[in-house]
Amino acid sequence: MRSSSFVLMSVLVVTSQTVFAQTREETTKTLNEMRSTGKMAEIPLIPQTGTKANAIKKNLESIKLPPGFKISLYAIVPDARHIAVGPQGVMTIVSTRKNKIYAVTDRTKSGTAEEVKQFAPTLGDLTIPDGVCFSRDGFLYVTEQNALWEFPAAEFFYESPDVVINPIVKAGELIPKSEESYNHTSHACTVGPDNKIYFTLGQPFNVPPKDKTELYSNVGIGGIVRVDRDGKNREVFARGIRNSVGLAFNPKDKVLWFTDNQVDGMGDDIPPGELNRAPNANLNFGFPWYGGGKVRTTEYKDETPPADAVFPQVETVAHAADLGMSFYTGKMFPKKYQGAIFSAQHGSWNRTEPVGARVMVTYLKEDGTVDKMEPFAQGWLTADGEYTGRPVDVQSLRDGSLLVADDFAGALYRITYSAR
């Protein structure tokens, strides 16, 4: 495990063997002391042209959007998952569920990325770095399978293989090692209006055994956890969540929303997926008593569910796999979309008739609750039941266009609008 090579010292230098970290208060005065490790003269770029790019562009011709909208290839990014757009608009970080994260740059603001390269390659391989998020003051946070890292000034040091890094939750301490899982691990993160880091923790079972209840409740496995930006004051914000892979705060009323994936193996049409609203802390969203929506799980059908269980704002198509989400804060799209939620449906993996592989839009009422959800971009699932792409996350660029990550095609798409 890489954690054994992390040592705290006063100078911040990163190599593939050793990471030197320090307190945030010292960061400003020492950022200019960084020096090259000499391990990598230049970071290799991911090719953005060729046969693969042409094939993806061809597939995008089949995507259906509302009138006035257009989708195009923004960048080829291997295994692209969650998107974190830098607050200065310098670059975008893209996560994977493998061992790397990538920096994507459109220097000329042409609407197409000019450079895609691995972020911080001298760190060596990461372990399922699925969650990425920026603070408003430019700190990048990355959730691994069992760790939480901070990268100060990431937008401005991404060009170098050397980076400043700080272990917010050290490797092996996010959850008990006995509960580590490849599929249901730590996923999305965001920095809330209270300046705390929020992240989701999936649980390593389809439905957990009853002897795990107390442990999971205490740790926040199958929930949403928040910590101060220095890792202190950890608390479980929400429980009763099976496997959330997307969360975002509504900028209008500061309320947290999140998606949740339902129990597998109960049939094609049950239980439904979920889009949830958490107006305050310490709410229980019903899992494992409920497998999705109000459908009871077989394993807990004889157990009494929490009387105060909170049910979803939207019950989505069963097994469509609702993942990343964001609130649209741009001005490029028509008024009806401003303040709406865009979310990705990754597509089913074990349904006899595949569903999903599309981007949804959810409109809200004036009181901040759901009005309706409908498809926004679809066509990655062909009539023959084959996937040409599988959307994972949706985030806005500063110009108001919308980025969509696709881990099946290994790409980012850009959706724009122009009035006719």
pLDDT one-digit tens code per residue, 221-268:
999 999 999 999 999 999 999 999 999 999 999 999 999 999 999 999
Q: Does 354 score more than 80 pLDDT?
A: yes
What are the distances in angstroms from CA 351 to CA 166, 168, 360? 42, 39, 20
- Which of 31-35, 156-160, 169-173, 281-285 has the least mean pLDDT? 31-35
Contact 332, 312 (CB under 8 A): no
Residue-range domains of the chain with CATH: 2-417 (2.120.10.30)
CA angle 261-245-285, nearest 5°?
A: 55
Share of the chain above pLDDT 90, in %: 84
User: 4: helix, coil or strand?
Assistant: helix
Per-residue confidence (pLDDT) for residue 41, from 0 to 100: 65
Give percent helix, percent strand, percent coil of the chain, each to the nearest 5.
10, 35, 55
365: left (phi over 0), alpha (psi -120 to 50) or beta: beta
Per-residue confidence (pLDDT) for residue 290, from 0 to 100: 98
Per-residue confidence (pLDDT) for residue 86, from 0 to 100: 96
Q: What is the pTM of this model?
A: 0.91
Average pLDDT, the chain: 90
Per-residue confidence (pLDDT) for residue 37, from 0 to 100: 43
Q: How far, in Å, CA of 346 to CA of 410, rounded?
A: 13
Contact 222, 287 (CB under 8 A): yes
Per-residue confidence (pLDDT) for residue 338, from 0 to 100: 98
Residue 74 tokens read as 């923004």
User: 31: helix, coil or strand?
Assistant: helix
CB atoms within 10 A of CB 398: 13
Q: What DSSP string describes 34-81?
A: ----SS-SSPPBPP-SSHHHHHHHHHHTT-B--TTEEEEEEEE-TT--
Q: What contacts 24+ positions apart, CB below 8 Å, involve 238-241?
A: 238/278, 238/281, 238/282, 238/283, 238/284, 238/285, 239/283, 239/284, 239/285, 240/283, 240/284, 240/285, 240/286, 240/287, 240/289, 240/306, 240/309, 240/310, 241/200, 241/276, 241/285, 241/287
The count of residues in the chain is: 420
User: 283: helix, coil or strand?
Assistant: strand
Residue 249 tokens read as 């705060």
